[in-house]
A and B are shown apart, each in its own frame.
Chain A
Amino acid sequence: MRALWNRIRDRLRRDALDAELVEELRFHQQLLERDAGDASPVRARQRLGNVTAVREETRDHWTLGALDRLLQDVHYALRGVRKSPGFAIAVIVTLALGVGANAAMFGIIDRLMFRPFAYLANPAGTGRVYLRFHDHGQVITKGESIEYTRYLDLKRHTTRFARMAAFSSQSLAVGLGQDAAEVPVAAVSGSFFGFFRAQPTLGRFFGTTEDALPHGTPVAVLGYDFWQSHFGGRNVLDSTLQVGDVLATIIGVAPRGFVGVSETAAPAVYLPITALASSLSFGVGSYYSTYYWGWVSVMAERKAGVNDAAAAADLSQAYRASWVAEAVQNSDLPGPDIAQPAALMGNLKAGAGPELAPKDRGALWVSGVALIVLLIACANVTNLFVVRALRRRRETAVRLALGVTRGRLLAQQITESLVLSGLAGLAGMGVAQLGSAAIRGFFGYDAGSLMLLGDTRALAVTGSIVLAIGVVMGVVPALFAETGDLALALRTGVRGGTHRRSRLSGALLVAQAALAMLLLVGAGLFVRSMSAVRSMRLGYDTDSVVVAAVNQRGAKISDSNSVALSHRLVEAAATLPGVSHAAWVASVPFYSSSWASIYVDGVDSVGKLGHFTYQAATSDYFATTGTRILHGRALMVQDQGTAPRVTVVGAGMAKLLWPGRDAIGQCLRIRTAQAPCTTVVGVAEDAVQQSLTATNDFQYYVPISQFGTNHGFALVLRTRTAPAGQLEAIRKALQRLMPGQYYVTTRTLASIVNDERAPWQFGATMFSVFGALALLVAAIGLYAVIAYGVAQRMHELGVRVALGAQRRDIVGLVMRQGVAFAVSGVVLGGVLAAVAARWVTPLLFHESARDPVIFGTVTVVLLAVAAVACALPAQRASRADPNSALRTD
């Protein structure tokens, strides 16, 4: 121990020690010569021995062995960076982009799929319940939007589970007056906290007694961060908090870092799910005995010894029993033998479950793309290293000849590549931070939750990637470029001897080009999908329509007052300066839809033909949204109350229900088969309601006053100019009419629709960015290799010129070689893209995954870029000088 300490101290003052040793040896020498007297001084020198060897040996005592060698290698590597900054920058930038893209995507994928929830007691045995059934020939799987009644059925009919809980996250206004703000609220069953091994920071959690049917007990547990930010961490037990319509007593505070099973923002408040359900007024009287309202997710913990199959079987028989119970209430429901209801326990995180949401699938795809970019970057950097190793072959040979061991050389190379990949890793973390800041909005994460620098999992993964790359970059070029025959390498002149093409280098070039082709085809497909999504007629105008939603809170007003309020709102809205039309509606596209059974004489079971939703609206609806009437007429002011019942149907619905006949004048019975006729008076263009991709969603329109009292929740307004600047003015004007705690929120219809387009927008953007990146990196790689080849062949080319080769022959020679790589890459990449088409198809929109236009365009672009990358070296090659070629050796 003491010896090591002395060694380290000596290492730090080794220059002084060295000087002292020299002085000591000189003194010794002097005395030897003095004592030898007249005898030969040579003899005196012999007695001391080899002074240099002595110094070397002594010096070893104040070095730190391997550590010193490492420092020396790092020093050497850094000197290399300074000496050829171009090479270093190319390596670092290329790798930083690849590593950064992957670090950013890992941060997201990890949260989406892998990272277990904090405090969960039994992560392996806990899962989410997924329901599966057949609907119109499609298999539907869902892990959310499950009815609360269904949850009760599942719980009642299963025996293999230790506990089961329903949960739902809502955005609710918390607090009163000026302080009111919408925060994430988790409504959870009383059994929920039993899934976790967590102790409340303050007070207690609620249990099943507070979560009893039908109303529950209005108690609340606060999230730790919310408690800190809103209450400064003081004792809030037994005080009350207005959460939406629930006036709750605070009974506890969850521990720091507890997020329940929330995948995005941590809940601010936890409420018993029954307390929240009974307060939400969706016109659903008994949320616990009917199957109209799907709004919860279900989590369950298996009993010990129950495997996946047993759990699924248990859940499936319970779901079937539940399906039968639902069929009793809803005669439209296909029987269990047709629907084949089945259930399973899957990953608690929906992002890793059997049915991925478009954004989850998008995240996976983009991660794959990021990985490809990293592969291209690695291929490119390996190539740069190989080329450099070839260039250094002579230097390496000289060093080997001077006695440096191959192991030492390899260590030096690995150190160098590690230094470079380490620097690239640092730069990559910067890239990742910027990148995840840019894409986090898409995944609904708040700013703080994606700090990669404080995220040990992301850092560990990035570190491992960097380390692996560093080692591979160091070893591979050494394997392929190491001089086999020392003597041969030494003998050949400055030229570097015969032209040596590396097969590895060529393979890497082809791989890069192939992957770039793959990404660019993907980019092209997504960009085309994006423009198809954008240009698709939705069945209404989005650019000049505003949605103003009325949010009920606090004491409700009576139905008749609600109707009066809607009239006042429509009048007030229509007279606003920038507004041309306004209508009161029951549905808003992508926001809410309304459904009722319909019956048509002569058609058996309309519900089996498709999904029919209705829009109940006031008379100006079509003028407001711009939905075109194809035949007949729109809704009119006269179609009210006791006037004959009328409806306008979508074109697709008309064709489906009355094929080959005129829909005008037909009879539609709404809600029951015995209901009086509602006469079709018009046919409108089809309008997209719930999903941009659905093919069997249909819409019909009814006057809101004929349809029922107290219907509708929002205004749609048509503005004369772009609406974005008028949102606040509209909101203020309408807010003045609000009774009690009611409040108005305004959005443009365009922003609602854009949210739906986001997955395609995201795909198009990410594929384009990564595709461009891949192209650039591959081009740099091609350039570097061709330029190196030319530099090495200058002598040979000079001889060719001397023998009468023309400039264009030389240019052609070089270009052919480069373009051959590109062509092989394009062919290989094209095949890969065609094979991958199967998996890409569901992500595209009205676009074939094997679109020949895209394949053709990308091929042309890639070959053009390859030609440009080769043109410069080819130009240089054509200037090969026959004189200098003949004069050297």
Chain B
Amino acid sequence: VPRTAPSDRRDLLPGTLDMLVLKILSATAMHGYGIAQELQRQTNDTLRVEEGSLYPALQRMRQKGWIKAEWKQTPNNQRARYYTLTPAGRRHLGTEVTRFADLVAAIGGVLGLA
């Protein structure tokens, strides 16, 4: 079954998935599916993210100590793994956002968008 206009969607810039996930988790603890939903919602479906690829990223960030994982009950009484931002993760998110903003500003300057 063909998806609607797949070519309209954009690939994620490399290295930005971590930052987006951390940003989403900075609001509240969430499970993998929730993160995927939130990502879609906040980007208005512009980004092409294979939702499965969230999971290796989540494991990597957990090992780096940016997020914590816990099994909890969902409101529907299902078992799900919830991810929470750690203080280290919050710090990392801060530096990443700054760096990204600098990058965007620099690129924008070159392109005459500023």
A54 touching B32 in the complex, CB below 8 Å, given contacts A6-B65, A7-B63, A27-B78: no
A58 touching B56 in the complex, CB below 8 Å, given contacts A2-B64, A6-B65, A40-B1: yes
Contact of B79 among A23, A28, A32, A49 (CB under 8 A): A23
B58 to chain A, nearest CB (A): 8
Query: Contact: A27 with B63, CB < 8 Å?
Result: no
B81 within 8 A of A: yes
Query: Contact: B33 with A43, CB < 8 Å?
Result: no
Contact of A28 among B1, B3, B33, B59 (CB under 8 A): B33
Query: Contact: B79 with A27, CB < 8 Å?
Result: yes
B112 to chain A, nearest CB (A): 37
A499 within 8 A of B: no
Query: Contact: B63 with A10, CB < 8 Å?
Result: yes
B80 within 8 A of A: yes
Query: Contact: A24 with B55, CB < 8 Å?
Result: yes
Interface size on B, residues (CB 8 A): 23
Interface size on A, residues (CB 8 A): 30
Q: Flag A794-826 by CB within 8 Å of B: 1 or 0 each.
A: 000000000000000000000000000000000
Which parts of A1-56 form the interface with B (CB within 8 Å)? 2-3, 6-7, 10, 20-21, 23-25, 27-28, 31-32, 40, 42-43, 46-51, 53-54
Residues of A within 8 A of B60 (CB): 61
A61 to chain B, nearest CB (A): 4
Instruction: Kindly name the residue among B3, B59, B64, B81 whose own CB sees the greatest number of chain A CB atoms within 10 A.
Output: B59
B15 within 8 A of A: no
- Bound Cα distance from A50 to B56, whole angstroms: 13
B31 within 8 A of A: yes
A622 within 8 A of B: no
| Chain A residue with Cβ nearest B69 | A20
Query: Contact: B33 with A47, CB < 8 Å?
Result: no
- Bound Cα distance from A138 to B63, whole angstroms: 81
Residues of A within 8 A of B50 (CB): 47-49
Which parts of B36-62 form the interface with A (CB within 8 Å)? 36, 50-53, 55-56, 59-60, 62
A19 to chain B, nearest CB (A): 12
A37 to chain B, nearest CB (A): 14
Residues of A within 8 A of B32 (CB): 24, 27-28
Residues of B within 8 A of A61 (CB): 56, 59-60, 63
A62 within 8 A of B: yes
Residues of A within 8 A of B36 (CB): 28
CB contacts between A and B, total, < 8 Å: 70
Contact of B62 among A6, A31, A51, A53 (CB under 8 A): A6
A43 touching B3 in the complex, CB below 8 Å, given contacts A27-B79, A49-B52: yes
| Chain B residue with Cβ nearest A61 | B59
| Chain A residue with Cβ nearest B59 | A61
Residues of B within 8 A of A889 (CB): none
B9 to chain A, nearest CB (A): 12
Residues of B within 8 A of A58 (CB): 55-56, 59
Residues of A within 8 A of B56 (CB): 54, 57-58, 60-61
- Bound Cα distance from A290 to B59, whole angstroms: 91
Q: Flag B5-33 by CB within 8 Å of A: 1 or 0 each.
A: 00000000000000000000000000111
Residues of A within 8 A of B52 (CB): 25, 48-51, 53-54
A576 to chain B, nearest CB (A): 90
Residues of B within 8 A of A28 (CB): 32-33, 36, 51
- Bound Cα distance from A847 to B1, whole angstroms: 96
Residues of B within 8 A of A43 (CB): 1, 3
Residues of A within 8 A of B3 (CB): 43, 46
Residues of A within 8 A of B55 (CB): 21, 24-25, 54, 58
Query: Contact: B63 with A6, CB < 8 Å?
Result: yes
A316 to chain B, nearest CB (A): 75
Residues of B within 8 A of A20 (CB): 71, 81
Q: Which 9 A-B pairs have the closest CB atoms?
A: A49-B52, A49-B50, A54-B52, A6-B63, A57-B56, A61-B59, A58-B56, A31-B33, A28-B33
- Interface residues, chain A, with chain B CB atoms under 8 Å away: 2-3, 6-7, 10, 20-21, 23-25, 27-28, 31-32, 40, 42-43, 46-51, 53-54, 57-58, 60-62
- A sample of 6 cross-chain residue pairs with beta-carbon separation below 8 angstroms, ordered by A number, consists of A20-B81, A24-B81, A48-B50, A49-B51, A49-B53, A58-B55
Besides A27-B80, A48-B52, 13 new A-B residue pairs in contact (Cβ under 8 A), listed by A number: A3-B64, A7-B63, A20-B81, A21-B55, A21-B59, A23-B81, A24-B32, A24-B80, A25-B55, A40-B1, A43-B1, A58-B59, A61-B63
